Amino acid sequence: MLIIDEFHSLLVGTPRLQRQVMNAIKILCNELQIPIVGVGTKDAIRVLHTYPQHASRFDVAELPTWKLDQVIDWQPIEQYLNRQKTRYLRDHRVRPAYPLLSMFKAVLPGQWHSLSDPELEHSLITRIDFNLFCRFDELGIPDYSTLCRYRNRRRKTTPCPNCRN
């Protein structure tokens, strides 16, 4: 199986370049005789429907995003974090503080998946599901040292009375 990530990025090129890339994918599919999976945003469907012969080669399947935000009410946790007045979340480049709830959410998948801080940083950069869950804004993604400092300082603070330890 060949998985092509960021399939929607084919829309960036000229129509001629898009056609060339799609024809190359078609040739790969025919030559290798393996399934090809294109992964991307909803714009990836537009790439496929540009040419009918390409649309007939792919089945579209929508994968749901994380629904954890619909199960957990994050507002009390965010209020608790904001009351702690911890504004130390600057990385080594002295950028502004990251949102506290985003930082709190960022360490959760690291714990769930037993990731080191560098692995967590890499996952936040490369995994859409991690980034959607944490909701980092235009400030970008914290580096591993910032994640480590945050996690260590969270351990030193008083636990949230409504949270399980």
pLDDT, mean of residues 147-165: 68
- Calculate the alpha carbon distances from 72 to 78, 109, 111 in Å: 12, 15, 17
* 122 burial via Cβ count (<10 Å: 0-12, 13-18, 19+): middle
Residue 91 pLDDT greater than 80, yes or no:
no
Beta strands in the chain (DSSP E): 2-4, 36-38
> Considering the chain, what is the average pLDDT of its residues?
80
Least confident of 15-29, 89-103, 113-127, 129-143: 89-103
Q: Give the SS3 label for residue 102.
A: helix
Residue 164 binned pLDDT confidence (cut-offs 50, 70, 90): very low
Q: What is the pLDDT of residues 13-22, one digit of tens each?
A: 888 888 888 8
Contact 77, 101 (CB under 8 A): yes
Q: What is the pLDDT of residues 48-75, one digit of tens each?
A: 887 777 778 788 887 666 677 777 888 9
